A and B are shown apart, each in its own frame.
Chain A
Amino acid sequence: MSSNQEGPRPSAATPVMIDGNEAAAYVAHKLNEVIAIYPITPSSNMGEWADEWSANGKQNIWGTVPLVIEMQSEGGAAGAIHGALQAGSLATTFTASQGLLLMIPNMFKIAGELTPTVFHIAARTVATHALSIFGDHSDVMSTRSTGWGMLSSCSVQEVMDFACIAQAATLESRLPFLHFFDGFRTSHEVMKIQELSDEQLRAMVDDDMILAHRKRALTPDNPVIRGTAQNPDVFFQSRERCNTYYTACPGIVEKAMQKFETVTGRRYELFEYVGAPDAERVVIVMGSGAETVHDTVEYLANKGEKVGVLKVRLYRPFSLEHFLAALPKSVKTIGVLDRCKEPGAAGEPLYMDVITSLGTAQQNGTLPFASMPRVVGGRYGLSSKEFTPAMVKAVFDELKKPSPKNGFTVGINDDVTHTSLVYDPTFSVEGEEVKRALFFGLGADGTVGANKNSIKIIGEETPFYAQGYFVYDSKKSGSTTTSHLRFGPKQLKTPYLIDRANFIACHQWFFLEKYNVLEAAAPGSVFLLNSLYGPDVVWNHLPRVTQETILEKKIQLYVIDAYKVATATGMGGRINTIMQTCFFAISGVLPKDEAIAAIKNSIKKTYGKKGEHVVQKNYEAVDQTLANLFAVKVPDKVSSTIELPPVVSPQAPAFVQRTTAPIIAGKGDTMPVSLLPEDGTYPVGTTQWEKRNIALEIPVWEPDICIQCNKCALVCPHAAIRVKVYDGAALANAPETFKSMEYKGVEYKGLKYTVQTAPEDCTGCNLCVEVCPAKSKREVKVKAINMKPQEPLRLPERLNYDFFLNLPEVDRRTVRTDTVKGTQFFQPLFEYSGACSGCGETPYVKLASQLFGDRMIVANATGCSSIYGGNLPTTPWTANNEGRGPAWANSLFEDNAEFGLGIRLTIDKNLEMAQELVRHLAGAIGQDLTMAILGAKQSDEAGIHEQRERVDVLKKKLAGMQEAEAKRLLSLADYLVKKSIWIMGGDGWAYDIGFGGLDHVLASGRNVNILVLDTEVYSNTGGQMSKATPRSAVAKFAASGKPTSKKDLAMIAMSYGNVYVAKVAMGSNDAQTIRAFLEAEAYDGPSIIIAYSHCIAHGIDMARGMTNQKVAVETGYWQLFRYNPLLAHEGKNPFKLDSKAPSKSLKEFTSLETRFRMLEKSHPDRAKELGAQAQADVKERWALYEQYAHDGGTAAPEKVEEKQ
């Protein structure tokens, strides 16, 4: 972009600090009438903005509030938009990745019908060997053949500008446009940009074109038909009929860009060249990477290098003429950079376009160069991999070689096929005028929020250009955040992380003990540390590496005890405002008083709506901060003996040491290709090596009070509190503080019993304490489980836990499976996940792993459970001592039921083939064994055990046989042991995007177990409404409360008659939950369990999640029942209502949760109306279920009693 300040222009709005998603949504909302949305990272925010603005009555430039609707999938959104466009409105949607792939069929149609629209895409990696939420062009490149215009934005300003240009161009050209920008890097980067005013937008959009579009609408007042079916005679010719539109399109876009320049002063071209006019080496690139190349080219060109960059703006239709005209005549070597990978292709897409274009020009004789340039292609930046000036330099250096590498990669170390270019990571083009600040914080301490405020202040209150980018780790609890803030006098073209900071703040002391936070510190930089230790003593507590770095880089150290200030000012654990004030005080970006005033102004803006008091408390925190901020006089010698601990225990297996540990340590970027599996297959059981130590307090067991109910172990979301029974003789080697007591029941009489916490894996959620029913007779506040500070317990409990784990597991055959107590003696094969502290889903997942884990395959829909289940570096799915455990895979979001069914079909087929072979080989196997294997019941743990023993004998026999059939049977023999197929996912999958498949699988009659972890919103993408969301709850996309009631998925499933259906809530009736799991698994047909899962997205006290579940059932908000078709076969009523009639008003539940209470605050009248309807829903639903329970002759709801 370049600026042309001449000429009169419509009034422009003031500069704003926003991210790419907001910029796109801003224009889209201003220039559309109908918006269909569906959440998918990293584009969800665009839909959220649109929904929020419409809910708040914000109008588009024509004075009407756009209609926003959430659909059940991106396919649905595309379909709805196709319809809306056909009916003549201005319509749009936003998406990314798999979502865009689901839109492709409609995109072909929309383009084929020459329909103007702009879809805004936060470009994201398409899942291959793994899912990735991060950015590259693999999704948008998959749509190349749809016939859409494709316009690429490189920066947040361009996102706003191109959103507008695309709209103007689509209306005139009639080609639909994909407007895309890099997911996260641009969609989530906060930048100071010029907002387009309504006047500017009006000036860009030609009303006549809109009228022409509306005139083409389907209407009975002027009927036409579209979407005909055509035959070989005319289809081909018809397809060529649109060519003129494609020929005209680049000119139209160019015209729109020229008009945009007159309106705003900002100039763009279809292909934009920057660099030396006589450049010999040119890089061609699209997206945010072009900014990095641009900056690097300017730096190198200033040093006299003949280099340049060609930024591709309009990728489709690809204009040969404009492309050739934009390249400097002097070019000799071209490097084309693609942000995607097409394995097996002759080259990546942009590379092939360039080659084709040059080849065509050469053939046509229109090549404007002395000779055909040499062209090489390379890949960079997959899944948001960093792309820095150092890498750009490496590309230009490569282009200088006589035979530059083709198909190279840059930014990684490919030690397998040696595609990668070597680069010098110390190379930098950033000038001293750019200030760079890096902040390490915890998700929970508000660091990111404060930094978003800080950069907004700098951007909006000073003449500086400013940029903020925020990095999060892959955990949902105790996650680390890194904030990268830059500001300076010139526009920033730095879409990459800070690697030499002038200012580093560490908001949590314990980070120092994990890694060197000063690695990216520039010499002479400032280090602000939140420290319990004051300026006089802090030095002696710093790890050696920190001291060394401070001295080596001559870093100025400041300390503040932010938690002390937070406590003194009533801020609790929120240190955000305090650390923000320190940053401004030290950095001097604004004069002190102005900075304080700006912070306070920002506090007022952020918190003002939520009441004066919270504003005042923040003001107090600001006022008290400076008196507590101290410069530290740094000694001149390193004195510390504190070393950083190893990332994982030396006992960890080789794979974990080699591959997992560097990822945990944040060194994944430097890992060579060879260290990673070829096909995305990873070993299980790796969370155990990632000792996160995130709990401030952990549960401590009091044997004297314990009644051995095992409920603590049942509800633990992280399998961090466990129980065992064992022979007392084992205690001989027990650590000193290991606790034990006599087992109280008859089944293990004479054995010892222990409840043990995993001190370094516990997240401190408190659910175990909450459900513990045993209270001290002397002091009721003391329970059998109580929370105590973790730090002093860490070492002794680590020893105790190691000892505990080494105690033998209980023999599964001896366990009373149908009791809460019994189930908890089964080893959890799902442990220490990165789910939210106090998660309501994982207790169910863990329970399934305990009951069936050693013969279980899990098909997991994308969502929270696939993230805490399978997000690198580690997985909570694990194996038992025999090496058996759940095998797990995630296919997609929308296809999980089908994926699971496919697994079932193979298992069934394998079993069938194995049984056939057993029969064929009966003579060799022996008749008794054959009969026993084929006739095995396997209906309980003993039956499974016996079958395993038979299969072992069989395998031994087969091992000695040479026949092909024997070898085949050997490969299939394990399938003779019953396998348990579990299809898991959240309500977004089951109720919405995957419902069609789920319904089909239910109808298949096949033996699959479906577990719906029903949080009643799309939790993983940030709480968007699903069809499981209850009436009156506030969710994203339902900002004014969901007006309709929750879909009754159970009732739909029951309508088949042959599906086992259960609705459970562990916090209300754990025995019923266990019964449902056992019955579902035992049922030889489809089963579905709908499990109420409290969730952080409900806005609740997560420590009381199980209590909320209890109240949900008591008020009738959630009902417990089981529908077992087997009972119908016995002539009984298959439907058993396991909960009692509502004994409390719905309000007693809804008042516990912010999702409902928020509506009372935001829309009080609507809250009353929807609240009354929701109460009526409860009554109606209960009456219906009660009728079901009675109709079959069951007089009263059967209560599931705990059998102990």
Chain B
Amino acid sequence: MDLSTYYLGKRLKNPLVPSASPLSRNIDSMKRLEDAGAAAIVMYSLFEEQIEHESFEIDHYLSYGTQSYAEALTYFPEAKEYNLEPDQYLELLRKASESLEVPVIGSLNGVSTGGWVKYAKHMEEAGADALELNVYYIPTDPALAGDDVEARYLDVLHAVKSTVAIPVAVKLSPYFTALANVAQRLVNAGADGLVLFNRFYQPDININELEVTPHVHLSDSSASTLPMRWVAILHSRIKASLAATSGIHTSDDVIKLLMAGADVTMMCSALLKRGPEHLKEVLEGLEKWMFEHEYVSVEQMKGSMSHKSVHDPSAFERANYMKALNRYKLLM
């Protein structure tokens, strides 16, 4: 049985890839992921804010209140060097690409084309096999039109692509008016792959403290239907790799997304909940299912139930909603 797949121009031994998460914050857990069968690892994201603000913050707090009072002209000793988060990230990436056998994908998260973009190059130099560009953006400004938002994605992609030679995937949010069009334009602009989708942390309200609290909600399998639809729609329509992420917890989820047309399936919540070793179970489940159902390769399965491949493509379209509605009415 051939589980191999191609993602961002690289042959991967199977379609299971842990997505950016705290599990890639140290070599040990990355090793565990590799041992459990991960075919590639996307490192946790280096954020634009981190790159830009960390050095400001360090400077601010180390110099706050200094040179003001004769007895205490400073409050801290001067360090020989400061291992800033980006430096630590690059160091870890360097170590990971040296010590892991599977490809390591660096992840950059930002929304502007500022100086932080050069970290793409630094990641390439540190040994990243590919980059995932995570454009995590909530357009709150009513004056900002959809075109402007899309232009940002394209600008960031341009900026990054112009500095690196390694493949670049773009991780998208599902909230576009014309997602297929955006996907197409990103691919035209050089995206080697699309990762569907970003899950935003959702805020919550604490009614006793009257505070907005960040809410980290780990996904479950039900979340996979959103990427499933769009992977199915985009498969074979665009010339780029497709990674499915969100709600992939079980081998069944993996199979569904592969059938929809994903080149790889990415896992995060499931691994955070159950540990890196869960990946092995999913992989075994995939093999078992393929064996039982006499599939010989992942390639064979990939896209077999995409928008183009199914008998009734409208099942992925609006009609789906109508049918569901009708059935609901009947049940009433």
Chain A interface residues toward B at CB < 8 A: 41-42, 44-45, 48, 51-52, 55-56, 133, 184, 188, 442-444, 446-449, 452, 470, 472, 475-476, 479, 481, 572, 607, 609-617, 775, 780, 836, 867, 1019-1023, 1034-1037, 1039, 1096-1097, 1099-1100, 1102, 1154-1155, 1158, 1160-1162, 1164
Whether B65 lies near A609 (C-beta < 8 A) is no
Nearest B-chain residue to A480, judged by Cβ: B68
Interface flag for B178 (CB, 8 Å): no
Interface flag for B115 (CB, 8 Å): yes
| Neighbouring A residues of B77 by C-beta, 8 Å | 48, 51-52, 55, 1034-1037, 1039
Most B-side CB within 10 Å, residue of A448, A472, A1034 = A472
Whether B59 lies near A1164 (C-beta < 8 A) is no
Interface flag for B83 (CB, 8 Å): yes
Cα-based distance from A908 to B84 in the complex (angstroms): 59
| Neighbouring B residues of A443 by C-beta, 8 Å | 65-69
| Neighbouring B residues of A1154 by C-beta, 8 Å | 58, 61-62, 76
Whether A481 lies near B72 (C-beta < 8 A) is no
Interface flag for B213 (CB, 8 Å): no
Interface flag for B81 (CB, 8 Å): yes
User: Considering the complex, which residues of chain B in the window 23-78 have a beta carbon less than 8 Å from any beta carbon of chain A?
Assistant: 51-56, 58-78
Cα-based distance from A1035 to B68 in the complex (angstroms): 19
Cα-based distance from A364 to B74 in the complex (angstroms): 55
Whether A1099 lies near B88 (C-beta < 8 A) is no
| Neighbouring A residues of B73 by C-beta, 8 Å | 45, 448, 1022
Whether A1099 lies near B64 (C-beta < 8 A) is yes
| Neighbouring A residues of B66 by C-beta, 8 Å | 443, 449
Whether B65 lies near A836 (C-beta < 8 A) is yes
Q: Give B296 Cβ to nearest chain A Cβ, in Å.
A: 48
Whether B76 lies near A612 (C-beta < 8 A) is no
Chain B interface residues toward A at CB < 8 A: 51-56, 58-84, 86, 88, 115-116, 210-211
Q: Give A892 Cβ to nearest chain B Cβ, in Å.
A: 16
| Neighbouring A residues of B55 by C-beta, 8 Å | 607, 610-615
Cα-based distance from A1155 to B61 in the complex (angstroms): 9
Nearest A-chain residue to B211, judged by Cβ: A780
> Nearest 4 A-B pairs (CB), nearest first?
A611-B55, A443-B68, A1022-B72, A1162-B79
**Can you sample 23 A-B contacts with CB below 8 Å?**
A42-B70, A443-B66, A448-B67, A476-B68, A479-B68, A609-B79, A611-B84, A613-B53, A614-B56, A614-B59, A616-B115, A1021-B71, A1022-B75, A1023-B75, A1036-B75, A1096-B65, A1097-B75, A1099-B76, A1154-B62, A1158-B62, A1158-B76, A1162-B79, A1162-B83
Whether B71 lies near A1096 (C-beta < 8 A) is no
Q: Pick the residue among B70, B81, B86 that contacts A472 (CB under 8 A).
A: B70
Cα-based distance from A1164 to B56 in the complex (angstroms): 19
Q: Give A274 Cβ to nearest chain B Cβ, in Å.
A: 31
Whether B75 lies near A775 (C-beta < 8 A) is no
Cα-based distance from A447 to B63 in the complex (angstroms): 12
Nearest B-chain residue to A1022, judged by Cβ: B72
Cα-based distance from A609 to B52 in the complex (angstroms): 14
Whether A479 lies near B69 (C-beta < 8 A) is yes
Nearest B-chain residue to A441, judged by Cβ: B67
Known contacts A613-B52, A1023-B76, A1158-B76; A41/B71 CB under 8 A: yes
Q: Give A864 Cβ to nearest chain B Cβ, in Å.
A: 9
Cα-based distance from A465 to B320 in the complex (angstroms): 83
Cα-based distance from A615 to B71 in the complex (angstroms): 28
Q: Give A872 Cβ to nearest chain B Cβ, in Å.
A: 14
Cα-based distance from A607 to B73 in the complex (angstroms): 17
Cα-based distance from A171 to B58 in the complex (angstroms): 44
| Neighbouring B residues of A1158 by C-beta, 8 Å | 58, 62, 76, 79
Cα-based distance from A1039 to B63 in the complex (angstroms): 16
Cα-based distance from A1142 to B67 in the complex (angstroms): 37
Kindly list 6 other residue pairs between chains A and B, CB separation below 8 angstroms, not including A476-B69, A1022-B74: A443-B67, A449-B63, A481-B67, A614-B59, A617-B56, A1019-B72
Nearest A-chain residue to B88, judged by Cβ: A1164
| Neighbouring B residues of A1161 by C-beta, 8 Å | 58, 79, 82-84
Cα-based distance from A48 to B76 in the complex (angstroms): 10
Cα-based distance from A1022 to B55 in the complex (angstroms): 22
Whether B52 lies near A1099 (C-beta < 8 A) is no
Known contacts A613-B52, A614-B55; A446/B65 CB under 8 A: no
Cα-based distance from A41 to B71 in the complex (angstroms): 6
| Neighbouring A residues of B84 by C-beta, 8 Å | 610-611, 1161
Whether B71 lies near A56 (C-beta < 8 A) is no
Whether A56 lies near B80 (C-beta < 8 A) is yes
| Neighbouring B residues of A607 by C-beta, 8 Å | 55, 59
Cα-based distance from A56 to B116 in the complex (angstroms): 30
Nearest B-chain residue to A1097, judged by Cβ: B75
